[in-house]
Structure 1
Amino acid sequence: MANIEPGSWLFDLIEVYNELGGEAPYEKVYPLAQEKRQKAGASWTKQSPATIRRTVEDNAESSKNYRGRAVFYSVNGHGKGVWGLLPDYRKEAYPVDMRSPAYAAGIEGILQEQHYLRRSRDPKLVEQRKVIDDYTCQTCGFRLQWERDKYLIEVHHLSPLGNLHDVTVTSTEDLICLCPTCHRIAHTR
């Protein structure tokens, strides 16, 4: 639970949900959260159940109130009061129940921020290679035109860009047209 302050509502709720097997209705969360917080000397007031609901929903992307981090998901749909922990926050002692309704359908669409560097290609050079090879796979001969001037063809670097350590001058002789299948095979070698 990196970057989650111990003793915070979010930290405590992750532990409570783990104790409850990873998913539970609020009615089961309240008493466990109260016991946990009171044992730790933290406050518990009449507003604590509302704080729990706000904390869970602030940290669930499926909630209209989402504004935190993706920690929880709605098990039976928003407004039903049953929430679960996303796999990244579950303890190993409580494996994800693949029979859970949320996992039977699959959880997708969670926004994840990613940063990466990608080597650029010269689009003019790529287009020149496609014309030279007549938009045809040079391995299997596949050629598919689906609209005027639109073909299903990819251009493969004989010396992969990922192997380069610096900016390199490339010519059309360093490229070859491949269909998507042959291109994938070329990258699995």
Structure 2
Amino acid sequence: MGIVRKQGLNFGKSSLVPKIDVLLNNAGIMGTKLARTPEGVESQFAANHIGHFLLTNLLVPQLEQAEGNARVVNVSSKLYQFSPVNFLDPQFTSTPWNTKLESKGVKSYSLHPGNIQQTGLAASVDPESWPIVTEMFERKKMEMPKEKTLEQGAATSVAAALDPRLDDFSGAFLDDCQVAKVIEYAFSEDNAESLWSLSEKIVGETFSY
């Protein structure tokens, strides 16, 4: 998180970037062995959520300068459907940005990019885990994601960043460039506030909008 904070502050002070139109939070890891950051945060939670949370908040002033046209895009996964939020063991990700930043004229979206083998994201996953993943999809009566090329996988991120047809759908979750249905607990205001408070506690800073 120290690197994220340093780079976010440096970027925020740069006169070369007076405003930000699109912030795409795309960093992520999956299936790694248990490890913690120097601050003691579980590494997957830190990379997939806390880093994005901190960076986005540090760059709000530049996003605000886009005068109502800025977008924050968080690359996520449809696997959120497999587990409700567990605040006692917070190794999860969610984005309450829509309710927090709408007053700044900043729209927010999250998305599932698809199954893209070329990214190497699943390289750390134990091969013996895949039958369990398949079983979980079957229990949810969901189709296993079809493999996508890098270009196909990037398409939904590009749509979230630029498609004007999404202007009225801030806060939406996208899949295959379309607004997707979301499980009810992902819309919980209580969950969003709890996640926001927990994230502030972890980064040691409060953000009020």
Query: TM-score per shorter chain, which class?
Result: under 0.3
Q: Which TM-score applies when normalising by structure 1?
A: 0.23
Structure (1/2) with the larger helix percentage = 2
**Higher CA-based Rg:** 1
Q: Which TM-score applies when normalising by structure 2?
A: 0.22
**Higher RCO, 1 or 2 (CA under 8 Å, sep at least 6)?**
2
